Structure 1
Amino acid sequence: MKILTIQQIIKNIENEVVFEAYAEDESFKIKIDEYIPYVCAAIHDGGQMRDDVLEKCSLSTYERWYEEDPHTAEFVGNFPILIQGCDSRFEYDLNRDPDNAIYEEAWGKNVWETPLSESQKQRSLAKHHAFYEVVEALIQKLESKFKKCVVYDIHSYNWKRWDRPVPVFNIGAELVDHQKFGDYVESWRDGLSLIELGDIHNYTAVNDVFYGRGYLLGFITNKFKDTLVLATEVSKIYCDELTGESFPEVINQIKEGFKTAILNHAFEFIKNETSYKVSKQVNILHNELESDLIKIDKQLYSLVKDFELLSVINPINLEFEKKKFLASNYKYEPQFKYNPLNIDPFEFKRKLSNIKVEKINDISIQNMYVDTINAYFDKVDLLANLGTNKFLYNSLRYFGEPSKKDVDNANFVLYCPEFRMEKEGEFNENEVVELFKNATQDYGFQFDIEVSDHIASKALVINSKKKVVIKKGVKFDKRFTKGLIEHEIGVHMVTTMNALKQPLKIFSIGLPVNTLTQEGLAILSEYYSDSINHDRLRELGLRVLAVNMLTSGKSFNETFLTLMEEYKMAPENAFYLTTRVYRGGGFTKDALYLKGLKTILNYIDQGKKLDNLLIGKTSVEYVDTIDELVDRKMINSPQYFTKIFKKHLEKPEINPILQYIFNGIKD
C-alpha cells in the first residue's frame, strides 16, 4: 500500500484522486474508492505504539487492547470511504481534544512508568493534528461537492463492566442538531436494531451508555453544519473481553448487519439530502473488483479448474458389470471400478486452506467464497473415500438426503395417471450427436461432442473440458431427445459459456450445491418445451425413491428389484438408475432434480427473474449477492439466454397436464 505525506493526501482529496494509503508515519490509513457523501471512520481500531513511547508504558498489550476498538474497521471496510486509526489510543486519543489527548491516567490506571518527555508528547500530538487536517479536508471536499454528508463513527465498548443490561448498539447523539438530523438518528437506530446476531438479543439505544461527546463528532459538527456524525458504539459481544479471544461468527454477523444498515441509511440520506444522483442502493457501493478479490478468485480457479466430480465417479467397468449382474439373475453385487484420483486429497485441502478469503472486504462476497471453498473440502472428502462406506456419509454432507416432503412429491408424480404413452419414434446415438451439434451451433457455441459407454446417464456435460458426452448404444425417444437438448445445451451449456464471460471464475467452478439450481433450471427447460413424457416424469420420482432406499440401508440388489418389480422398470433401465445412485459408495445427488424443479418453480412464483441464475454455475441461495454484483457491474449479465425460457416469456404455453402435476409438488 502507498505511503503518502499529509500534504500529498490532502492534495489527492482536493483533486478528487481515488487512492488508498497510509500516512507517512503509518499512524492512520485512508481509503477513497469513490467520492461519495458518506464516510466510515474507525479511529480506535489500531493498537500500535512508537517504540520510544511503548518502553515507558506501564500497561500490558491486553490492558491496552481492552480499551481499544478492535475489528471496528473490519465492520465497515467494504464501504467506499474509510478512515482508520492505526495507533493505540494510549499513545494519543483521536477522540479527545489535543489538550487531553495524551493520558496520564486512564480508567483508574497509571499509563506511564516514567513520564513522557515534552518532545515525545509533541510528536504524538503532531499525529493527532495531522489526522484532523485530513478529516477537515475530506469533509470540506464532500460538503462542497454534495451539499451534505454523513459520517458513521464506529467504536466499541466493554459491556461486562456495567452492572445492568446495556445496548448492543448505542448511538451517541447529544451533540447532533436534532432539528436538522433527528429523523436520521432515529432511522439509524431502527436499522441497527434489525441486525440479527443469532442467540444474542439486539437491544439498540440512543444516549444510553455513551452520549456522543467524542472529539471527532465535535470537531466535524462545529466546523461543518451540514454533516451528520453518528457516533456508534458496539458492545464487545464479538470477543471475550477477559481474554481477548475473537468470535469470527459474530464478527461476520456484525459486518453483514452493518452492510445492510449503512446501505439503507446512507441511501436515504444521500437521496433526500445531497446532490449526489442515485437510483439504487448498490450505486453507493464501489463497483470495481478489488485486487485481493481478483487474486483469490484466480487462486481458487487455478486449484479447482480441472476438478470434475462426475467424470471421476463414473465406473470404468459399467457395461461389464451390467452384463454380469443381469446374467446372474440379479443376485450378483456389482463391483465397480474407478479411475485413479489425479489429486492428493491432503495436499489439495492444504492449498484450499491457504486461500486468504478474509482479505475480501465485502462480507457478502466473502461468504460466497468461504462457502464455495468449504464445498470443495466436502467434494475432496467424497473423492478421497470413493468406493468406501465413508463416501455415502460425505455425499449426505454435501448433497443431503430426501426429506419426507421430497419423498411425498416423488410418490405424487409416480401415481399420476399415465399420459403420452404413445411413442413418437426413436433416434440412434449418431442422429442424437447431429442434433446436439445443430443445437450447439444455433447458440454459437464451440463445444466438443463425444460418444462413450462409460457414463451412467444418457448424456453428460463436462464443463471444464467444454464437452458433451452421449451414451453409446442407447436409443433416444424423439420427444425425450428434444428435452435432453434443452436440458444439456439450453441450460448446462448456456451456463458454462456464460461463466466463461465473467471476470470472476467462481461462476465456472460453481457455487455450493449448484446442482439443485442448475438441475432445477434444466428440468424447467424440459417442462417449458413440453418434452416431458410419462417415463421421464417417473424417472425423476424414482431417482428420489432410489436415493431414499439407499439412505434407508437397502442394498444395490434390493433397490434394483424394487424398481423392477414394484415400479415395473425394464431390467436395463433399473440397473442404470440404481447404478447412478449407488456408484462411488452412495451418491445422493439424484434426489436434487425434482427438488430443484420445485425450488425454481417457487422462485418464479415469487416474481423473480431467471436471468442472473444463468450467468454461470449459480445457486438460488446466493441470488441476492449475484444480483448485487450484476447491479454493481462487477460481473456481467448473461450473454446467452436459454431460448425456451425466452420463448416462454414471450408466449407462455404450458401443457395443462404437466402444469397440474408440477403445481402439485410446490411447497
Structure 2
Amino acid sequence: MIEQHHIAAELIETICKNITENVPVNVALPRKGLLHIDKLLPFICVYRFKERDVYFSRLLKTQASYVIVDESIDISHLLEAIRLMTSEKFDTFLILELWPNEDSLRNQFQIYAPKNKSLETVNALSDGFSEIKKTLSNVSCKIIQTEFRHPKHLTSLLDINASKKSGTLIIGISIPVVYKNTYTNKLFTLFFRKFYTIFSETIKRAVYEFIRVQTTDAFENYLMLGKTHIDEVTLSSDAKLAEISEGMSFLLRVTPVNSNEEWDKFEQNQFKTVPSFKYRLLAIDPELEKRKLYNIPLDLIEDPTIAFILRGKRLEIEKQLIMLEERGTDNFRFIGESLYGVIREDVLATAEHILKVYPQTENIKSSKRLNGVEFAAYAQREMNHYVELFPDLDLGIEIRDDVAGIMVSKSKLLINIEMDLDANRCDALIQHEIGTHILTYCNGKSQPLKQMYEGFEGYDQLQEGLAVIAEYLVGGLTVNRLRLLAGRVIAVQSMVDNASFIETFDMLRETYSFSERTAYYITMRVFRGGGLTKDAVYLAGLIDLMAYLKNGGKLEPLYTGKFNVTHIKLIEELLYRKVLKEPILPRFLDRNDVKLRLQKLREGITIVELVN
C-alpha cells in the first residue's frame, strides 16, 4: 500500500478561486507534479506516476485540463473541488485516467469503461486511437467494460458508487508505449509528433461526445475544448522565428538593385545580351542565423497545431537562408523548387488557357489618368477607414521615387511619384493593396502569434489569390492583369525546362504578345538570384481560392492574417478555440455588386470569366 500525502487545503482554495475568476491555472504540485486548467471545462486528464515518463507527460499537456502527479499524492479532494467548481455550469464531470503500458500488450490501447454507458465517448476514443494503425499496423484497440478503471497497483481515484451519485464518470485508458524504444528509452521523434497529434484530437473528440450527450451546455465544435491561452515557450519561439524571418528580408535580398539600368542596356543591345543583375550585400551570416533557428525549442511546444505551424515556418526560413548562401548558382533554383514546389499541371494548363482566350494585351484608352499624388489621395480615403479601426498601428501612405509602381511594406502603402494609372483601375488596386495586404497585416498584428502578420510558410500564394479576387469583386480585374499572372507561370516553366533568359524573354514577346518591357520584368523576376519559381504560386493561389469558395469555404477567416490555403483548417481551429480573434473584414464586402460577384464565385465561374 502506497503511503498517501495530501494537497494543502490552502492550495486547493487558491486553485478554486482562479477557476471561478476564469484565470488559467498552472500550479506546481508536491513531488514534481503539475496541474493545468486553461478554462472552465467539465473534464480532466489524470496521470499518476511512480517515475515520471516525460514523453507520456507531453501527451497530457496537449489538453486544456490535466493533472500530472506523483502516485503518493492523494488528489481525491482536489478532483472533488474542481468538480464542484464546474458543476455550477455543467451537469456532469469526466475524469480520464491515463497511464503508459509497457507490458506484453504494449501494442494495444485499452479503454476501461462502464458497461453500456457513454458509448459515444468510448467509441470516439476507440475510433481515434485506431488512426495510429495507418502508421503502425500492429496497433490495436480494446474496450473493456469494468468497474476497475485505474492502474493495477493503485487504488481508484474516486469510489465508483460515490462518483455515480455526484455525476462523475471515470474512464481509464492504458496507452501503449509504441513511440519509444523501451530498451534504450530513445524517442521515435517523427512518429511521436504524429502520435501526440492523434492523441490530442482523440481526447478532445471523446470529451466533446461526452458533453454533447451528458450536459446541457453544448459546445459548437470539439475544437473549442482545446487550449485558449498560449504559454511562454510558444510565445518566445514564435517571436524568435519572426525576428529571424524579418531580419533576413529574403525577397529584398534576391531582387536586383539595378533592374531599371539593365533594362536600358538590354534595350540598347536589341535584347541580345543577358542582363547582369546586382544584389544587395548580405547583412547577416546565414550560418549563424541557422544556428539561432535550431536553438528555438519547438520540441517543447505543447500545442500540436501551433507546433506544426512553427515547424513549417522554420523549414521555410532554413531553406531561404540556404538560398541566400547559394544566390547566383544553380543550387538557388533547386532549393527554391523544394520550397515553392514544381508547377502543378492544372496551373500550367490554366495559364495556357488564359493566354489562348486572351492572346493580346488589351489597350485601354481611358479618358482619365492618375499620377502618384492623385492616386494617393484616393487611397488615403480608404486608409483613413482602417486608421480608425486600428488606432495603435502606424498606417500610412508614402510617395517615393525609389519604388516600382505600388507596393506594400507592412503597414505602409508605397507609391512611385511618377506612376501613371488608368483611373478605372484605381479602386481595384486600392482593394488589392489596402483592403487585402494591409488589412491582413493589421489583423495579424492584433493576434497573439507574430507569424500571423509575418506570414506562415508559403503565405504569398493565398495572399495574392485573395488580392486578385478583391480586384474581381470590386469590378476592376482586367485582361492584362490576368495575362500577367499566366505569363509568370509560363516563364517559370520555361526556366525549369532550362531555357535561357533571352529564350524566355523572346517566347513571352513573340508567342504570347507581351510588350518588350513587360516581358523583361516577368523574365527578370523569374531568373533573379539564379532562378526563382515563386512567381508561379500567384496563379495557383487564385485557382485554389476559387475552388475553396466554390466548395462552400468561408471567405471571412482568410482575413485573419497571412497564411496559405493549406493552413485554413488550422486557422479555423484556432478561431474556434479563441486563441485567435475574429478578423475585421474589408468594407468593400458590404457593397451590393460585390455580393453578387461573390455569389458567382460560389456558383463556380471559370477563371477567364473573372475579367470585368
Alignment TM-score, normalising by the size of structure 1 = 0.80
Question: Residue 413 of structure 1: CA displacement?
Answer: 0.7
Alignment of 1:172-321 (within 5 A): 172-173=112-113, 176=114, 178-194=115-131, 197-198=134-135, 200=137, 203-207=140-144, 212=149, 214=151, 215=154, 217=156, 219-225=158-164, 226-274=167-215, 276=217, 278-321=219-262
Question: Residue 186 of structure 1: CA displacement?
Answer: 3.2
Q: Does 1:380 align with 2:327?
A: no
CA distance in 1, matches of 2:139, 2:551: 30
Q: Does 1:84 align with 2:68?
A: yes
Residue of structure 2 in register with 1:554 after alignment: 499
Question: Residue 628 of structure 1: CA displacement?
Answer: 2.4
Question: Residue 414 of structure 1: CA displacement?
Answer: 0.8
Q: Does 1:441 align with 2:401?
A: no
Residue of structure 2 in register with 1:371 after alignment: 312
Q: Is the 8 A contact 2:59 2:196 kept in 1?
A: yes
CA distance in 2, matches of 1:490, 1:181: 49
Describe the superposition over 1:384-403 as per-residue Cα deviations: whole angstroms up to 9, x where unpaired.
Answer: 32223222122212212212
Q: Does 1:170 align with 2:110?
A: yes
Alignment of 1:47-86 (within 5 A): 47=51, 69-86=53-70
Describe the superposition over 1:465-505 as per-residue Cα deviations: whole angstroms up to 9, x where unpaired.
Answer: x3333456554344444432222222111112222222322
Describe the superposition over 1:236-262 as per-residue Cα deviations: whole angstroms up to 9, x where unpaired.
Answer: 221122322101222222222122222
Query: SS of the residue aligned with 2:280?
Result: coil
Query: SS of the residue aligned with 1:233?
Result: strand
Residues 347 and 240 of structure 1: is their aligned pair in 2 closer, same or farther, counting only changes over 3 Å?
A: same
Q: Does 1:617 align with 2:580?
A: no
Q: Is the 8 A contact 1:448 1:467 kept in 2?
A: yes
> What one-letter code is carried by the residue in structure 2 that aligns with 1:274?
T
Query: SS of the residue aligned with 2:97?
Result: strand
Alignment of 1:573-584 (within 5 A): 573-584=518-529
Q: Is the 8 A contact 1:491 1:642 kept in 2?
A: no
Q: Is the 8 A contact 1:611 1:641 kept in 2?
A: no
Q: Does 1:148 align with 2:92?
A: yes
Q: Is the 8 A contact 1:613 1:623 kept in 2?
A: yes
Describe the superposition over 1:289-324 as per-residue Cα deviations: whole angstroms up to 9, x where unpaired.
Answer: 333333333333344334432223221111111111
> What one-letter code is carried by the residue in structure 2 that aligns with 1:441?
N
Q: Is the 8 A contact 1:167 1:203 kept in 2?
A: yes
Residues 630 and 447 of structure 1: is their aligned pair in 2 closer, same or farther, counting only changes over 3 Å?
A: same
Describe the superposition over 1:537-570 as per-residue Cα deviations: whole angstroms up to 9, x where unpaired.
Answer: 2211111000011111111111011111111222
Question: Residue 613 of structure 1: CA displacement?
Answer: 1.3
CA distance in 2, matches of 1:156, 1:443: 53
Describe the superposition over 1:88-129 as per-residue Cα deviations: whole angstroms up to 9, x where unpaired.
Answer: xxxxxx4xxxxxxxxxxxxxxxxxxxxxxxxxxxxxxxxx25
The runs of 5 or more residues in structure 1 that have no matched partner are 49-68, 87-93, 95-127
Question: Residue 203 of structure 1: CA displacement?
Answer: 3.0
User: In structure 2, which of residues 7, 27, 31 is the aligned counterpart of residue 21 of structure 1?
Assistant: 27
Query: SS of the residue aligned with 1:34?
Result: coil
Question: Residue 139 of structure 1: CA displacement?
Answer: 5.0
Percent identity of equivalent pairs: 24
> What one-letter code is carried by the residue in structure 1 that aligns with 2:41?
I
Q: Does 1:399 align with 2:405?
A: no
CA distance in 2, matches of 1:379, 1:216: 55
Describe the superposition over 1:416-474 as per-residue Cα deviations: whole angstroms up to 9, x where unpaired.
Answer: 1569945142444444444434443354382232434564xx432122xx333345655
Q: Is the 8 A contact 2:347 2:543 kept in 1?
A: no
Describe the superposition over 1:333-386 as per-residue Cα deviations: whole angstroms up to 9, x where unpaired.
Answer: 111111112222112122121222233322111211221222211222222322
User: In structure 2, which of residues 519, 527, 534 is the aligned counterpart of residue 589 of structure 1?
Assistant: 534
Residue of structure 2 in register with 1:31 after alignment: 36
Q: Does 1:652 align with 2:597?
A: yes
Question: Residue 5 of structure 1: CA displacement?
Answer: 5.2
Question: Residue 659 of structure 1: CA displacement?
Answer: 7.6
CA distance in 1, matches of 2:136, 2:554: 34
Query: SS of the residue aligned with 2:569?
Result: helix
Question: Residue 220 of structure 1: CA displacement?
Answer: 4.5
Describe the superposition over 1:489-523 as per-residue Cα deviations: whole angstroms up to 9, x where unpaired.
Answer: 22111112222222322211101100111011011
Query: SS of the residue aligned with 2:467?
Result: helix
Q: Is the 8 A contact 1:136 1:220 kept in 2?
A: no
Q: Does 1:627 align with 2:572?
A: yes
Q: Is the 8 A contact 2:360 2:513 kept in 1?
A: no
Residues 474 and 532 of structure 1: is their aligned pair in 2 closer, same or farther, counting only changes over 3 Å?
A: same
Q: Does 1:326 align with 2:326?
A: no
> What one-letter code is carried by the residue in structure 1 that aligns with 2:379?
F
Residue of structure 2 in register with 1:102 after alignment: none
Alignment TM-score, normalising by the size of structure 2 = 0.87
User: In structure 1, which of residues 457, 460, 484 is the aligned counterpart of residue 407 of structure 2?
Assistant: 460
Residues 32 and 213 of structure 1: is their aligned pair in 2 closer, same or farther, counting only changes over 3 Å?
A: closer
Residues 437 and 664 of structure 1: is their aligned pair in 2 closer, same or farther, counting only changes over 3 Å?
A: closer
> What one-letter code is carried by the residue in structure 2 that aligns with 1:405?
D
> What one-letter code is carried by the residue in structure 1 that aligns with 2:100?
S
Q: How many residues align?
A: 588
Q: Which one has a bigger Cα radius of gyration?
A: 1
User: In structure 1, which of residues 495, 498, 523 is the aligned counterpart of residue 468 of structure 2?
Assistant: 523
> What one-letter code is carried by the residue in structure 2 that aligns with 1:264?
R
Q: Is the 8 A contact 1:41 1:73 kept in 2?
A: no
